[in-house]
Structure 1
C-alpha cells in the first residue's frame, strides 16, 4: 500500500469516527452548543449576535466567548439549517483537518514520513481528540490552528521566508478559539523564542513578531474592556474565596502534575473525580490515552534523546509543548484535571507515541520479527479501538445524558410544545438546565410566543397550561394531572413528564 493511500485511509477513518451518528451521540445537546449554533444563526439572519455587531468576542450567557467557533458554525448552518448536526459538523471537520495539518507538521519537524503517518493515525483514533471533535463546543479549533501555525513557523525558520509571519498569524488566531489558548500559545512562544532567534535572524524575528502583535490587538482590547477575561473571572468566582499566593501556588503545582498522572491519562480521564461530577468530557473507565501508549511514550523519549542532535529543534518544540499543556487548567480553583482546558496536549502525546513506535520497529533488524511486531501492534490497537467505540456509542449515552452530562430532553419537549402550542395558553418547561432559555431560541428560532420557563409555581387556574417537568419537580398527586408524553433517558429512567392539570 502506498503511503499516500495509507494517509487517505487514515483521514477517512478519522472523518468517520468524528461524524458517525453525530446528532445522536453525544446524546443530548448542551447549552453551550445551542448558544454557538443560535449565535451563528443570528449572524446569518440579522448580522448581529444579541443585538451586538460581530467582533472577536461575542455575548454568551452574560459573558463573552471567543468568536471563532460562532463564525465557523455559520457555514454548515447556512447550508443545513439550525440543527444539532449542523452545529456539531464544523468541529468534526476541523478535527479531521487537524490530521492533515499534523501530517505536514511532523514531516517538516522530523523529516520522517513514517513518524508523520503514525502520528496522524494515533490522533485519528485518539479518544481525547475524537470525543471533543464530536461536540459543538469550541475546544478542537485550538489544536487545529495551533498545529497549522506551528507548521508554518517551523517551515519559516528553515527557509527564512514568508512562511514565518504566516505561522505567527495562525498562532495569533488561536486566541479567538478558546480562552486557555491565550495562556498556552503565549507561553509556548515565549519559551520558544530564544531557540529560534539565532536561526532566523533578528530582522525576520521582528517581522514575524509584528504580525503576531497585530493579531493580538483584539485580545488587548478584550482584556481592557473585560470581554476576554470574563470567563477567567467567572471560574474564580465559582471557586469561592480568594487564595493566598502560597495556597494558589500549591494548588496549581499539584494540579499541574495531575495532568500527567496515570489516573488522568490512562485510567480515568476527565470523569468521576470527587469534586467533579460532569460526565460530558470523557468515557467512564478510560483514560485520555490508550494504555498501550505507555511503552511507546517511554520509547519516544529514548528516541528523542538518541536523536537530539539531528532533531534538536523538533525535540525542543515537543518538550515545550508538553510543558505548557497543563497551564490551561491552572487558573481554575478546583482539584480536578480537565481534558477540555488542556486539549492542546492531545497532539504531543500522539507524536511522542509515534516516535516510540518507529524507534521500536527500527530496533528490530530481522524483517520477520518486524512483521510479527507490526501484526501484534495492529491487533492490540484495533482491539482497543473497538472496545472504546463500543463504550462510546453504546454505554456512554446511558450515563451521560442527564443533568451532569449532555442534558438531553429540550429537543423533545420543545418539539412537542411547537406541535401543540395552539391548544394551550402557556407551555412551561422546567428551568433545570444550564442556560435553559437558549433552547427555546435554538429549537424554535421563529418563536414560540406562549412558551416559557417555570415550575408548578407558574400554575394559573384560569389558563390552559402544559408543563414539562422532571418527576421530582412534580409534587401533585398523579390523579390531578393528565400525562401527555413521557420522555426517557437511555437507561429507561423517566427524564421528563409533559402534562396538563385536570
Structure 2
C-alpha cells in the first residue's frame, strides 16, 4: 500500500468518526448533564472574568456543586464558547474534537506496537465506529480526554527511545495533562509509568539523558497539582469517591445489613463481594452487547459497548 493511499484511508476513517461524534451532539444526548452545566458555566466565567463561579482567579481546581472539578475540561471549553457562544455544542465541542483526533493517533500507536499496517487500519476503523467511544464522545467526558492524552504520551514515550529529547518533554506533557483532566489518573499514571519503565528498562538504560528529562519534566509539570492534591481541596474528591464511600454500597449493602455494618471483618467482606460483583458484571454478554452504555447517562437504551460481530473478531 502506497503512503498516499494509506493517508487517504486514515483521513476518510477520521472524517467518518468525526461525523458520528459531532452530528447533532447538541441534541443527543438529550440536554446537558449537571456536570456539563457546571463545566460550561465555569468556562464561561473564566472567559468573561478570568475567575471561576466563586470568584477564584484561574484556579487549578474548580469548586462546584458537591465536588471539585479538574481544570483541563473547563479551560478547553473557553475557546469554543468564545467562538460558538455558551450552548450545548460549544460545551461538548472539545470532547468531540479530541476523540476525533484520537482516531489517527490510535492508528499510529497500534502500528507502532504491532508493526502491521492492515491490522492497525482495521483497529482504527473499529474505534471510529465503536459504540462506547462514540457514546462518550458526544458529551463532556473527562475520562475519555484523559485516555487520549495517555495514548499520546505512550506514542511520544516510544519515540523517545529513538534518542530525541523533545519526545521526552512531549511525552511528559501529555502524561501529566491526563492527571489535570481526570482524577483517577493521579493514581493510575504513576503506577503505569512505573510498569512502563520496568518493561522498557534495558532500552532506557541506553537513553539516560532522555529518561532523566522525562522524569524531571513530569515532576515539574505535576508539582502544582500534587500540592493541591495533598494540601488543597482535591483530597475532598478522593474522600467522596473512594471505594468505601460508594453511595450504592452504603445505601443498599451496609444499611440493608445493619447487623454486620459495625463489624470490621464483615464490612470488608461485604465490600469485597460488592465490588467483585460489579467488576464481573462488565464481562457479561448483557453488558457488552445489549445494555452496557445506559448504565452511565441517559440515552441509547439497548446498546452495548461492543457490536455483536465483534464477539467473533
- Establish whether TM, by shorter chain, passes 0.5: yes
Question: Which shifted more, 127-136 or 198-207?
Answer: 198-207
Map 1:463-502 onto structure 2 (within 5 A): none
The Cα of 1:161 is off from its aligned counterpart by: 4.0
Q: 1:91 to 1:144 in 2, by over 3 A?
A: same
For 1:292, the equivalent position in structure 2 comes to 309
Q: 1:199 to 1:261 in 2, by over 3 A?
A: farther
- Indicate the structure with greater helix content: 2
Of 197, 216, 223, 1:217 maps to: 223
**1:269 matched to 2:273:** no
- Using the alignment, how far apart are the partners of 1:205 and 1:252 within structure 2? 37
What is the Cα-based RMSD across aligned positions, in Å?
A: 2.3
- Answer with 1 or 2: which has the greater Rg: 1
Map 1:338-357 onto structure 2 (within 5 A): none
For 1:325, the equivalent position in structure 2 comes to none
Report the 3-state secondary structure (helix = DSSP H, G, I; strand = E; otherwise coil) of the residue aligned with 1:2: helix
Structure 1: give runs of 5+ residues left out of the alignment: 273-277, 297-502
**1:193 matched to 2:186:** no
Q: Say if 2:43 and 2:77, in contact at 8 Å, map to a contact too.
A: yes
Report the 3-state secondary structure (helix = DSSP H, G, I; strand = E; otherwise coil) of the residue aligned with 1:116: helix
The Cα of 1:100 is off from its aligned counterpart by: 2.1
- Using the alignment, how far apart are the partners of 1:159 and 1:119 within structure 2? 28
CA offsets 1:36-95 (integer angstroms, 9 cap, x no match): 111111001010002012132111114211110001000110011111111111111111
Of 35, 38, 43, 2:38 maps to: 35
For 1:110, the equivalent position in structure 2 comes to 114
Report the 3-state secondary structure (helix = DSSP H, G, I; strand = E; otherwise coil) of the residue aligned with 1:292: helix
Q: Say if 1:11 and 1:96, in contact at 8 Å, map to a contact too.
A: yes
**1:153 matched to 2:157:** yes
The Cα of 1:102 is off from its aligned counterpart by: 1.1
The Cα of 1:158 is off from its aligned counterpart by: 4.0
CA offsets 1:392-425 (integer angstroms, 9 cap, x no match): xxxxxxxxxxxxxxxxxxxxxxxxxxxxxxxxxx
Of 166, 182, 206, 2:212 maps to: 206
For 2:281, the equivalent position in structure 1 comes to 258
Q: Say if 2:51 and 2:59, in contact at 8 Å, map to a contact too.
A: no
Map 1:378-389 onto structure 2 (within 5 A): none
CA offsets 1:206-232 (integer angstroms, 9 cap, x no match): 332222222321232122234323233
For 1:446, the equivalent position in structure 2 comes to none
Q: 1:30 to 1:6 in 2, by over 3 A?
A: same
- Using the alignment, how far apart are the partners of 1:41 and 1:75 within structure 2? 10
Of 64, 79, 85, 1:81 maps to: 85
Q: Say if 2:68 and 2:233, in contact at 8 Å, map to a contact too.
A: yes
* Count of matched residue pairs: 290
Q: 1:258 to 1:190 in 2, by over 3 A?
A: farther
**1:16 matched to 2:19:** yes
Q: Say if 1:91 and 1:137, in contact at 8 Å, map to a contact too.
A: yes
- Using the alignment, how far apart are the partners of 2:246 and 2:309 within structure 1? 40
Q: Say if 2:137 and 2:144, in contact at 8 Å, map to a contact too.
A: yes
**1:123 matched to 2:127:** yes
The Cα of 1:152 is off from its aligned counterpart by: 0.4
The Cα of 1:17 is off from its aligned counterpart by: 0.5
- Using the alignment, how far apart are the partners of 1:269 and 1:210 within structure 2? 41
Normalising by structure 1, report the TM-score. 0.54
Of 2, 7, 23, 1:4 maps to: 7
CA offsets 1:6-52 (integer angstroms, 9 cap, x no match): 11111111111011112111111212111111111100101000201
CA offsets 1:168-195 (integer angstroms, 9 cap, x no match): 2211110011122223323322222211
- Using the alignment, how far apart are the partners of 2:26 and 2:173 within structure 1? 33
- Using the alignment, how far apart are the partners of 1:157 and 1:146 within structure 2? 17
Q: Say if 2:61 and 2:234, in contact at 8 Å, map to a contact too.
A: yes
Map 1:361-380 onto structure 2 (within 5 A): none
**1:163 matched to 2:162:** no
- Using the alignment, how far apart are the partners of 2:193 and 2:273 within structure 1? 25
Structure 2: give runs of 5+ residues left out of the alignment: 255-260
For 2:258, the equivalent position in structure 1 comes to none
For 2:233, the equivalent position in structure 1 comes to 227
- Indicate the structure with greater strand content: 1
Report the 3-state secondary structure (helix = DSSP H, G, I; strand = E; otherwise coil) of the residue aligned with 2:142: coil
Report the 3-state secondary structure (helix = DSSP H, G, I; strand = E; otherwise coil) of the residue aligned with 2:294: coil
Q: Say if 1:154 and 1:164, in contact at 8 Å, map to a contact too.
A: no
Normalising by structure 2, report the TM-score. 0.84
